[in-house]
Amino acid sequence: MRINLTVHFRCTADNLAAMASTGYEAARRLEAGNPKGGAGSHGTTHGHIHGHCHGRTAHNMSSSSLRKKSDLSLVSKVRCGLLRTILTNLQEILLGTKLFILFPAVPLAIAANYLHFGRAWLFALSLLGLTPLAERVSFLTEQIAHYTGPTVGGLLNATCGNATELIIALFALHRGKIEVVKCSLVGSILSNLLLVLGSSLFLGGIANLHKEQSFDRKQADVNTGLLLLGALCHILSFAYEHAVSSGEHSADASPGLGLSRACSILMLLAYVAYLFFQLKTHRQLFESEEEEDDDNDDAVAQDEAVIGFPSALAWLLGMTAVIAILSEYVVATIEAASDSWGISVRFISIILLPIVGNAAEHAGAIIFAFKNMLDITLGVSLGSATQISMFVVPLSVIVAWIMGIKMDLDLEVLETGSLIMAILITAFTLQDGTSHYLKGLVPLLCYLAIGACFFVSKPRPNQINDVNAGALTTST
């Protein structure tokens, strides 16, 4: 009896000590102004139990919201092990997403190219085909992260998170379409900051009409600071070209072009520091808390990989190759689509390309806003905008430099003004850590106003062709 009482007393004392420690930690978080523990509380307590080792970021969580559980009951009856593995991979890749209905657009686009269908049809089919492929690339990078660890997985996600925009930009550079590159990348930033964030906050506020939604400001502050740095580099190039340049570029690289290349190198260094900050020193700010939903039959278990490492790597390379093919079709037919539809290439590059290319990511951000998980929504929208601004844009300038093409950071007046205002509107919207539907409505209406401006703006005849011809001549 004495032994039992002693054991019981010791267990009770241990429980009281644990409760006291938990209360102390909660009081410390409350004193620091973070009653929920923020994004980091999950990483220090609950995250060790639920897949914290995989470093689930907002991009991974957003993509997983569009996945569905595959029924492998028929495949499991196949006796041949190799054939069963192949069929399992095919089912997980092609049918493991809610966007599988768009996969037929991929072979249709390839067939339209070889059968010489209308160029506008080829452009539309290629855009539709890029939508599920972008989501599958995110899925495959997450599968690889299960085998390589969170750091390598985070680097893959940081590189492949906007693979569609990067590949389209590289093909446009190869064809000398500098204005298409600039407009598509600026449009992607505007889309993430105003359209995705605005629609997510607006719809999330409508779904939670009688209460305010809250989020952790720390991650938003980091991304906003980097976006302001990128905007400063664009402003410096714009101001220098319009205030100092004589209008005649010399045979060598102009001083303004050298300024753009120097700023691009600094932006890439800032992005490397951002990756080190995100993946090493302050990882807890970017790891998103997973919500357990036992009632959702379509929820996919994320605690273990469903595809082997060699298969995932092979599928990732294959998907990237298909994205490259469709991106080549998009770049080659954008002028034909513009003439057929009666809208400018500028509007297609700034508005249509980002909306269709990131449709899967956008849908995931809105879904988590409905679930009152704004940290994931902000991680998707701000993270993608930061990746485009601080990685894809300066990388395009450096690659153009290597190719002998004179691409700089100087944007047109409308693009520069829209970019600056979008960043400022986002910063003011997220300044107090709370949200409601009106805060989402304002960025959404701003995006519609910018879209209307680019829709009615008509460039001079053959303006883009003249610029492209000059770029191609320089490259030659």
Residue-level pLDDT at 295: 41
Residue-level pLDDT at 360: 74
Count of domains for the chain: 1
Domain annotation covers residue 50: no
Residue 213 in 3-state DSSP? strand
Residue-level pLDDT at 375: 85
Buried b (16+ CB within 10 A) or exposed e, 126-136: bbbbbbbbbbb
Domain annotation covers residue 47: no
Confidence of residue 119 (pLDDT cuts 50, 70, 90): confident
Instruction: State the distance between the two ends of the chain, measured CA to CA, in whole angstroms.
Output: 93
Domain annotation covers residue 192: yes
Per-residue pLDDT for 413 more than 70?
yes
Radius of gyration (Cα) for the chain, nearest Å? 24
DSSP 462: T
Domain annotation covers residue 37: no
Distance CA 132, CA 105 (A): 10
Give the residue, 291 or 111, on which the prediction is more confident.
111
Domain annotation covers residue 27: no
Residue-level pLDDT at 81: 66
**Residue in 26, 346, 334 with CA at minimum distance from that of residue 184:** 346
Confidence of residue 454 (pLDDT cuts 50, 70, 90): very high
Phi, psi of 411 (to 5 degrees): -100, 165
Distance CA 276, CA 266 (A): 15
Buried b (16+ CB within 10 A) or exposed e, 96-112: bbbbeebbebbebbbeb
Residue-level pLDDT at 87: 75
Distance CA 177, CA 466 (A): 10
Domain annotation covers residue 9: no
Residue-level pLDDT at 390: 93
**CATH code assigned at 439:** 1.20.1420.30
Q: Which domain holds residue 163?
A: 55-289+309-475
Confidence of residue 374 (pLDDT cuts 50, 70, 90): confident
Domain annotation covers residue 5: no
Residue-level pLDDT at 306: 74
Contact call for residues 414 and 438 (beta carbons, < 8 A): no
| Residue 282 structure tokens | 């302050």
Per-residue pLDDT for 52 more than 80?
no
Contact call for residues 222 and 277 (beta carbons, < 8 A): yes
| Residue 161 structure tokens | 């998170």
Domain annotation covers residue 46: no
| Residue 110 structure tokens | 């390839």
What's the whole-number average pLDDT of the chain?
76
Residue-level pLDDT at 7: 43
